[in-house]
Amino acid sequence: MAAAEVPESNDISMEYSEHAEEFYSDNVSIQKKTNKKRVEWNHHEERWSTYLSGIKPEIRKPEKRMRSFRKAVMLVVVLEKLNSKRGCEMQSFFEDSDLLNHILVEEDITYNEMESEDTPKSQFQYNKTTVHVIRDYKQKSLAVQELQGNACLVALFLEGQNIEQEAKINLDTYLTAKPDIRKLPVTLGVAGRQLYLCCTTEEGRTEPVLSLKEKGNNDLLPFMFYKQLVNNKYNSFESAAFPGYYISTSQLEREPVQLKPENNEIFLRDFILNPHF
């Protein structure tokens, strides 16, 4: 069977109608002449002429209207009309660069060069703080006194109401990368004041000196001591900055607490720690 001839796009109305009678005109006929075949279509009746001998096909009109088919036909007609317009070139109203020019705006960025100094990481990491009352093994207490305008710790016997003069010591413990169970890193500060025992050197003196200073965060080594247990009863405090030197008290009363070498047998370097609550 030969294909039907598609009518010119200009002959078909572009207006859509819900009624088939308005879409397909009764007067419109589609004809195709072949060698021995002629086909004529009308809207309400279909007539075939000159078909293969002995074969009469039956065409039935669908009960329900096929709207999707109508829309497809309309789309084909529109496309045919567009294709028939010669010389009409598709042009873009704007390009990507036009859009990006409004989004990406070039601006001058100003910056200042700053030199950074790398601060070496301390080998001591803070752990916790406990408060203690510290006395030497002869039961002399530690108290803060002013000597020549500077605060210092002295060792003396306190009784009765004078016991209130006894200093409370903040014991800050620290951790290290390679801990030693026999030596615990600590700092010793006066509770209620930003003063810590510090080991330094002074011009004209061969031995390091012990004093009270404010503790900084940059260099903890002068403030650091290794707390060691002695005879399972006492504690000693060795300077981390000056190994072999210990916090010591004099045999005499009201003498400043000092830093003495381990071989010094006159000063006392063993202390009793009592937690203060």
CB 181 within 8 A of CB 172: no
Distances in Å between the alpha carbon of 107 and those of 99, 101, 102, 103, 110? 17, 12, 13, 12, 10
pLDDT at res. 30:
40
Identify the CA nearest to 259 among candidates 236, 233, 275: 236
Q: pLDDT digits over 90-148, tens only?
A: 454 445 555 445 445 555 555 555 544 554 567 899 999 999 999 999 999 999 998 88
Question: Measured between alpha carbons, how far is 152 from 210 in angstroms, rounded to an integer?
Answer: 9
Q: In what helix (H) or strand (E) does residue 23 lie, and over which residues does it extend? A: helix 20-23
pLDDT at res. 106:
56
Torsion sign over Cα 58, 61, 67, 70: positive
Amino acid at 213: K
Residue ranges, comma separated, of all CATH 2.80.10.50 domains in the chain are 125-275
Identify the CA nearest to 236 among candidates 177, 184, 176: 184
Torsion sign over Cα 12, 13, 16, 21: negative
pLDDT at res. 56:
53
Note the CATH architecture for domain 125-275: Trefoil (2.80)
**Taking the model in full, what pTM does it have?**
0.57
- The neighbour count for residue 276, using CB atoms within 10 Å, is 15
pLDDT at res. 113:
55
Locus of tokens 């190994």: 243
Average pLDDT per consecutive 10 residues, the chain (277 residues; last block may be shorter): 49 46 43 43 44 52 60 73 58 51 54 51 89 97 90 95 95 94 96 96 91 88 97 96 98 96 96 92
pLDDT at res. 1:
46
Distances in Å between the alpha carbon of 26 and those of 58, 81, 116? 20, 23, 92
pLDDT at res. 61:
55
